């Protein structure tokens, strides 16, 4: 595993940078534009996104495609690999990004039907944003759970720009401190989600002595999370150096299979989230992880994970944002599992 | 449809598990914070998650804790129960936690400095434990705390005891 990952990284870094992306013409029948990035092309119709490359072609239901691409865009290609499904996805090299088809799918890869092309992030990101803008119809919110939003189907029907251009919240120290990211309230447009009607909305007692108002601080994190208007979208709430608490609310299914390039930890704060774990390189199923309130689990650096929650659940995603970790893991100087005993 | 949110507590939690298909469950370092807090001494700061030098510690708050300080911010989240946190701005923080030290350092006695104030956290409330301050916890009934910090002299690691081993 470690060997093949190293080989992949070497190959990817030798890939010539592709600069060409193109926004195509409007289709006369569906009303949607086509797009291309290097030798990949993207088209949508009433039900499907269709991705083609010289060695193959792939079809995804367009709701799943838009939900996946929305995360990839919102997270700036995120940590490591964002698999839209078992075939399509991106690998973040932090400044550059690989777009791939079949690369992390045993059957495609072994048959030589896979392809990967590397782009400057600032070249691929505007194309992804243009696809999201053109293919998202009015009434469909790719951040929302399916029961909370309209359908994405049919021919071109308006836009939903405000839904797809939400900015990701990122506290510098802790939510609610003066000058830091604000609390969520009814008044600033964040009502409590329908699935959290019973959470305690109390505020902590905060009694600073004069002069210590900026240091003596606490807020209701559970209330803050219950007011999130997005699903599967971690946002930074507290920061110790590179240690980032990124809680999020989860309902339905994580729209991607996330193959992190480092260990990532989950602490389920409420309800139940079940995870399917597959091998990062091959896609072979490895484990299921059933998590309920209070459960802690580490996602190793050599897997991909996808979560499921029938009731909106609060999840604390814990990341170490240090930029040196992916390289250490690739060189075998950092463990694939954070803790061994 | 009316929804009910399932939170956990020291008295009532429902631990999940790793179900391997072709894997070693130890790879997932799986534990439950309420179980860990229940089975530890009061204010024993047990690591339940670790990523390089950073850790998440779990502690059962019960009665008054010692005073602690760190050279960096820490954060505490009540996962169950009510806990008061008192703060003192240390006159000489480096005498307590040397500048190169990491993690929480326990004070030998009472802190010397100005009172900064206090917070009282209930379940779901997250508070700042600011760098350079001394803090202590007071809980009149058992509470469960989760602390975002760095591995230090007070961090207890007992993974084989707390994690799913097979
Ligand atoms: Fe992830």
In A, minimum Cα distance to B149 occurs at A240
A315 vs A327: CA distance, rounded Å: 28
Q: What is the pLDDT of residue A14?
A: 73
**Which residues have CB under 8 Å from A98's CB, separation 6+?**
A12, A15, A90, A91, A116, A117, A118, A119
Q: Which of A217, A220, A243 sits opposite B148 (nearest CB)?
A: A243
Nearest to A341 among B16, B128, B160 (CB): B160
Model pLDDT, residue A12: 53
pLDDT of res. B162:
98
At CA B127, angle to CA B125 and CA B130, rounded to 5? Answer: 175
Asked if B119 and A217 come within 8 Å (Cβ–Cβ), the reply is yes
Q: Note whether A174 contacts B119, CB cutoff 8 Å.
A: no
Spans of chain A below 50 pLDDT: 1-11
Chain A residues in contact with B75 (beta carbon < 8 A): 174, 238, 240, 245
> Does residue A10 sit in helix, strand or coil?
helix
**What is the C-alpha to C-alpha distance for residues B34 and A292, in angstroms, rounded to an integer?**
11
- pLDDT at site A166: 93
B16 vs A contacts (CB less than 8 Å): 268, 272, 289-292, 295
Our CA-based measurement puts residue B145 at a distance from the nearest CA of chain A, in whole angstroms, of 11
Q: Are A34 and A41 in contact (CB under 8 A)?
A: yes
**Number of residue pairs across A and B with CB atoms under 8 Å?**
235
Determine, for residues A294 and B35 on separate chains, whether the beta-carbon distance falls below 8 Å. yes
Q: To 5 degrees, how large is the angle CA A39–CA A42–CA A47?
A: 155
- CA atoms within 13 A of residue A145's CA, in its CB half-sphere: 19
Angle between helices A62-74 and A121-135 (to 10 degrees): 140
Whether A113 and chain B come into contact, CB under 8 Å, resolves to: no
**Is the separation of the CB atoms in A170 and A236 below 8 Å?**
yes
Is residue A239 within 8 angstroms of chain B, CB to CB? yes
Choose among A216, A237, A337: nearest Cβ to B119.
Answer: A216
Do the chains contact at B23 and A287, CB–CB below 8 Å? yes
pLDDT of residue A167: 83
CB within 8 Å of B58: residues ≥ 6 apart: B33, B36, B37, B40, B45, B46, B48, B144, B145, B146, B147
Which residue in chain B has the smallest CA separation from A288?
A: B19
Q: What is the pLDDT of residue A169?
A: 86
- Full DSSP string of A102-167: STT-HHHHHTT--EEEEEEHHHHHHHHHHHHHHH--TT--TTS-GGGS----SS-----HHHHTPP
Contact flag A294-B32 (C-beta cutoff 8 Å):
yes
pLDDT at position A11? 44
Q: 3-class secondary structure for B143-160?
A: EEEEEEEECCCCEECCHH
- Determine the Cα–Cα distance for residues A4 and A64; give it in Å rounded to an integer: 29
In the predicted model, residues of chain B with pLDDT beneath 50 are: none
What secondary structure letter does DSSP report for B35? Answer: H
Partner-chain residue, chosen from B14, B31, B116, that has the shortest CB–CB distance to A212: B116
What's phi and psi for A37, nearest 5 deg?
Answer: -135, 115
Length of chain A: 341
What pLDDT does residue B106 have? 98
Structure tokens given for A95: 């400044």
Q: Which residues from chain B sit within 8 angstroms of residue A241, using beta carbons?
A: 54, 72, 150
* pTM to 2 decimal places: 0.95
The answer to whether A320 contacts B51, with C-beta atoms less than 8 Å apart, is yes
The CA distances from residue A186 to A171, A191, A201, A235, in Å, are 20, 5, 12, 19
């Amino acid at each position: 595993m470690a060997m093949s990952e190293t080989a992949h990284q070497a190959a990817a870094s030798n890939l010539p940078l592709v600069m060409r992306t193109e926004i195509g013409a409007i289709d006369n029948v569906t009303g949607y534009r086509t797009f291309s990035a290097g030798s990949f092309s993207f088209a949508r119709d009433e039900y499907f996104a269709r991705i083609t490359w010289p060695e193959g072609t792939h079809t995804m239901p367009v709701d799943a495609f838009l939900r996946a691409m929305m995360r990839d865009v919102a997270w700036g290609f995120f940590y490591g690999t964002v698999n839209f499904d078992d075939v399509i996805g991106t690998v973040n090299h932090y400044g550059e990004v690989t777009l791939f088809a079949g690369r992390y799918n045993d059957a495609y890869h072994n048959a030589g039907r896979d392809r990967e092309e590397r782009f400057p992030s600032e070249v691929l990101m505007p194309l992804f944003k243009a696809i999201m803008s053109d293919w998202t119809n009015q009434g469909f919110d790719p951040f929302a759970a399916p029961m909370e939003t309209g359908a994405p189907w049919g021919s071109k029907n308006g836009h939903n720009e405000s839904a797809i251009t939400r900015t990701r919240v990122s506290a510098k120290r802790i939510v609610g401190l003066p000058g830091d990211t604000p609390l969520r309230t009814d008044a600033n447009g964040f009502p409590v989600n329908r699935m959290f009607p019973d959470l305690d909305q109390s505020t902590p007692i905060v009694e600073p002595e004069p002069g210590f108002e900026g240091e003596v601080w606490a807020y209701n994190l559970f209330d803050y999370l219950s007011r999130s208007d997005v699903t599967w979208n971690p946002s930074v709430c507290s920061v110790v150096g590179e240690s980032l608490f990124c809680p999020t609310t989860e309902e339905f299914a994580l729209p991607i299979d996330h193959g992190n390039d480092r260990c990532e930890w989950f602490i389920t704060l409420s309800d139940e989230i079940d995870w399917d774990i597959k091998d990062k390189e091959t896609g072979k199923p490895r484990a299921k992880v059933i998590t309920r309130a209070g459960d802690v689990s580490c996602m190793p650096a050599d897997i991909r994970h996808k979560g499921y929650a029938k009731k909106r659940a609060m999840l604390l995603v814990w990341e170490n944002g240090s930029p040196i970790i992916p390289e250490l893991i690739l060189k075998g100087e950092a463990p694939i599992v954070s803790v061994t005993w | 449809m009316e929804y009910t949110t399932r939170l956990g507590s020291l008295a009532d939690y429902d631990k999940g598990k790793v179900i391997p298909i072709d894997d070693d469950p130890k790879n997932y370092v799986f534990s439950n914070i309420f179980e860990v807090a229940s089975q530890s001494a009061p204010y024993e700061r047990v690591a339940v998650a670790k990523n390089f030098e950073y850790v998440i510690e779990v502690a059962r708050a019960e009665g008054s804790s010692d005073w602690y300080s760190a050279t960096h911010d820490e954060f505490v989240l009540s996962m169950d129960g009510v806990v008061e946190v008192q703060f003192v701005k240390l006159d000489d923080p480096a005498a307590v936690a040397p500048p190169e030290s990491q993690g929480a350092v326990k004070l030998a006695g009472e802190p010397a400095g100005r009172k900064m104030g206090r917070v009282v956290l209930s379940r779901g409330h997250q508070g700042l434990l600011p760098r350079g301050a001394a803090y202590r916890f007071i809980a009149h009934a058992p509470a469960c705390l989760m602390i975002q910090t760095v591995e230090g002299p007070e961090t207890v690691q007992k993974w084989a005891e707390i994690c799913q081993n097979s």
